[in-house]
Amino acid sequence: MRTIKVTYYGNTNNKKIANFQIKENDILELIDTVDYKSPYTSEKTYIEHNKNKVNISKKGFGEVVASFTKLFGFKTCAPCNKRRHYLNKITPLWISKIITKFYK
């Protein structure tokens, strides 16, 4: 017999996981439901888990430089976007939080 995990949102918009078992004649039987618990319990563990990945949504010095170049009428190109993502990546977290407040 196989088991299947299904993720869904409950009535209060909280994420849940339902475990089903496939029986004979392709009949599904509900085993149990549990609340989904995120592996990212805090911002620190999220950063440690994703420190090698590029976070494109992070706002940093790259967004500031891009906004100034756009203001002066320069068009963006592939090297410009690469530079923007790199500058966003090296921006410290505390500065990134400040910059994000201005770029919503």
Structural domain boundaries in the chain: 2-35, 43-102
Asked whether the whole model's pTM tops 0.85, one would answer no
State the Cα torsion 62-65-69-71 to the nearest 10°. 110
pLDDT digits (tens, 9 = 90+) for 2-51: 888 888 787 777 788 888 888 877 788 888 888 877 665 555 565 666 55
